[in-house]
Structure 1
Amino acid sequence: MKLFLTLLVLASEFVGAQHLPPTLVPFRRGDKWGYADQHQRLVLPLQYDEAGPFIEGVAWVRQGKLFGYINATGSLVTPLHFAKASNVQHGRATVVLGDETFDIDPSGQRLSTPPAPAPEIDVLSQGHITHQNGKLGYRFTVGDAVVPAEYDEIKENANGLLLVRQGQKWGAINDKGKLVLPVAYDAIRSDPADESAFLIVEQEGQFGYLAADGRLLVKPRYRAAAPFQEGVARVVTDAGQVGYIDARGEEYFKE
């Protein structure tokens, strides 16, 4: 029981940390990118053709066809000479230079060691599935909450949510057994390896995000939506423009 309570506290702290606004967010005005603070005040000037999020202290930027990495002061960590550059993840980023593809660390140094294998994800079960007349329900291990057997599919989520499907539509139930997201969405993307507290939700070809409690953080209104990293997520508007939003759902781009 002590271990279980400790895990609950750590999970709560992790979800809370996901809501902390990042220091700098990629900010687009028209076709140029810079970086803004959480109040959307421009901190680094609009001088890039594309920009990525700050992760582990560095962000990739593009000028013309070439990519490089900068730190939070705007200084170059690497030259702008890569043909491709990825976000930093677990201390390494993948880049393409000439005919070579390799990894670098956040200081820009080339890495010779292969990446460590992804850690196994062990999501603790909150209860068990019940069956009645070909439908599924759920009984929680802790407390008296019971989800009636009226769903065609039920998935557990690390945030403590149950993702439920009726026919072709999905919704979400919290750990008290309450339906917090109506069963009206075409898909809810739940990847155990995703380090974000925010799930991606789809409705009629548009994408948005759920908050950690299962309610809508951002209603589906983007053509594409990527998982949150370091408190920001990359989205694509209906017009095909790329931008970023923060954990409050605030947009950091102006046409």
Structure 2
Amino acid sequence: MTKYFLFSIALFSLLSTSCTDNSNQSEEDSISETSLSYVEKDTSFVLKQFDPNQIWPFKSNDKWGYKNNDNEFVIRPIFDGCGFFSEGFAWVKENEAYKIINNKGDYIDKSASFDAVGKTKAGIIPTKKGKLWGAVDTTANQIIEYNYEEIKILDSNLVLVNKNRNWGLINRVGEEVCLPVYDREIVFEDGLAIVTRNYRDIGIINKSGREIVKCQYEDVKIINDSTFRIAVKSNRSENNYGLIVNEKIKYPAEYNRIDFFQEQSSGTN
């Protein structure tokens, strides 16, 4: 017999549903020569609308520097390459080495050089040595070891990392939040992320790295921050559905379908 289950959610319920292993990271936020001529000649007014205090890369006599929106020199063109500023810091290239400067043109540490530098976020600067990524702070002190094929800053204390082709999480000082055991990049929405192991076993983690829904289902859908629809294969290779509420199985996965609707109340004056 086909089994159906209707689940009511009150109106006030909360309904919801990087740096890579190559040196292109630094080139992604650089600016091309074609774009530069456009910036220099045509877009000063447009750029001011976005950020009147921003400074922009420009090229002169095969060297790179920075100008402001009034086309005035801010940092003289002495570099072999440079990137956009983020949080007041940018990478510059000297010969084949990447270094980091502030928006006054000063090196944060002239002796510190890298094979690539990423975009600063939350005071963390992804840097690459050899084939692996780590990170430094805004004074060039190393805060994350060079252990990862990819690294992406999520917020001030959470960093997404890829190691041996698997994804995990660390904090801003390199301590593990969750081991790199997930097959796909972890994407959080409202503090939760759907994750996959073995390319088929699906679950959910929170930002503490804890699996609040174990990776053992064919499919998982986030209904709100405490309610999740789960699916397992039936004997007929079709999905059977259930519900997990507050990390406990409220309804086992034995329904052919689970629908959700909102309760709406009508008030009278």
- Structure 1 length-normalised TM: 0.47
- Structure 2 length-normalised TM: 0.45
Structure of higher RCO (CA pairs closer than 8 Å, 6+ residues apart): 2
